[in-house]
Every structure is written in structure tokens, then in C-alpha cells.
Amino acid sequence: QVQLVESGGGLVQVGGSLRLSCAASERTFSSYRMGWFRQAPGKEREFVAAVTWSGHNTYYAASVKGRFTISRDNAKNTVYLQMNSLKPEDTAVYFCAAGDGRYFGSQAAMRADEYDYWGQGTQVTVSS
């Protein structure tokens, strides 16, 4: 059972930056593919970004590509989401997720059912 704890959320102005972190309890963290999802009020949870076990393969939603960067540090059991040029529509609760297995393709990476463990979420609010 992997426990995931997100941090780094908060209130930021339009155009600002935030870095989210997700710390995993599992010592075999490198065995898991990792992703970030978000959910805005009244909307369904949506895919944001994902990374395979080594960090070499990354995937992004079209709405964040070029502004967000996902990375991981397997030595620290942590995955990050660097968010730049934030927009009001980025306001949401951001969730970290871990999936059993090291690899997935671009289509699978976007599917919530490809992930087995979820964090509690961290609120990101972008004010205009």
C-alpha cells in the first residue's frame, strides 16, 4: 500500500509559479509510474501530467503543455509538478497518483483507472 502526501499548493496570482511535491511512503518508489490529476469545482477529475519510473518519459495534457513540468527524484521518493505561467483555469485541487508498473503509453497515462493509489490533494488557487 503506497501512501502519497501532496504539498506546495496555495494562492498565486495570474502568471505566477508554484511547485507541487508528492512524497511517497513506498521504498520501491521507482517501481511506480506517477501522475498528477486535478479537479475543479463542479468538474470531473482530469489528467495533468505523468512520468514513467525513470523520469525519461513524460506526458502532458494539452492545456498545460509548455507551462508545467513533471519530474521525479527516486532517491527521495518524490514526484514534482512545476507550474509556471499559471492561469485562473488552473485553479483546482491537485492529486498525485501512483500506478503499479514502471511504464505506460501516452493514452494509458491519461486514464485515472491506470493508477492504483491516490493522495488527498492540495488546493491551487490562481487569482486574477
pLDDT digits over 21-59, tens only? 999 997 788 889 999 999 999 999 999 999 999 999 999
Instruction: Name the E strands within 2-121.
Output: 4-7, 10-13, 18-24, 32-39, 46-51, 58-60, 68-73, 78-83, 92-100, 117-118
Cα end-to-end span (Å), the chain: 40
- Determine the average pLDDT of the residues in 101-127: 92
Question: How many Cβ atoms from other residues are within 10 Å of residue 74's Cβ?
Answer: 16
The predicted-structure confidence for 51-92, as pLDDT tens digits, reads as follows 999 999 999 999 999 999 999 999 999 999 999 999 999 999
**Which one-letter DSSP state was computed for residue 109?**
H
Does residue 98 sit in helix, strand or coil? Answer: strand
Q: Decide if pLDDT at 101 tops 90.
A: no
Q: Decide if pLDDT at 99 tops 80.
A: yes
User: Which residue did the predictor score with more confidence, 79 or 103?
Assistant: 79
Q: Decide if pLDDT at 110 tops 90.
A: yes
Q: How confident is the model at residue 94 (pLDDT cuts 50, 70, 90)?
A: very high
The pLDDT of residue 103:
82
